[in-house]
Amino acid sequence: MRTPIPLKDRKTDYIYIAFFFVNLLFITYIVDLEQLVIKDPANFKYPIWPLPFFVDMVHWWGNTFDPLQNARPVWWKATIWLDVLFFGPYYLAAAYAFIKGKDWIRIPTFIIMSILFTNVFIILSEELWGPTPARNLPMVLLANAPWFLFPVFLIWKMWKNPYPFSKEG
């Protein structure tokens, strides 16, 4: 019989939980959702959600640093749909599993984090070498670093132990 390792004994998991909540409550259903409900940032009406403040913030980022975000090519929107439909629910499930110490999140973590790493790699490749490069590449790379690094850290965490949140006893 396995028993959960208390969260207080898994200090680094607090960082992962924060990552999940930031993504769930801000990135996925505000920043990313805005890019699906507003087709053209140069010509739009404010939607019910996200609120105008958040829409303006997303557009400011695109105008100031990252024109790819405002260009919204089809492949970009496909990555956003993955975020809204799959990553969002994963972040909720992962936050719960990390807080409660549930080992069943291990395999979904391999899957979702592999997809996230791949998406960010493709996006950053466009930012570096594509037809819509970043206006401020260091800022864009720094802003995207968590979505490039956290998948690596989470896959490593899950890889090294088949029971990352529990122990015998």
pLDDT tens string 115-142: 999 999 999 999 999 999 999 999 999 9
Model-level pTM?
0.95
Beta pairing partners, 166: 4
SS3 134: coil
Residue whose structure tokens are 């695109």: 62
pLDDT in tens, 15-51: 999 999 999 999 999 999 999 999 999 999 999 999 9
Whole-number average pLDDT of the chain: 97
Radius of gyration of the chain (CA): 18
CA-CA distance, 114 to 87, in Å (whole number)?
11
Kindly list the domain boundaries of the chain, sorted by start residue.
2-168
Q: Which two tokens stand for residue 147?
A: 């979505």
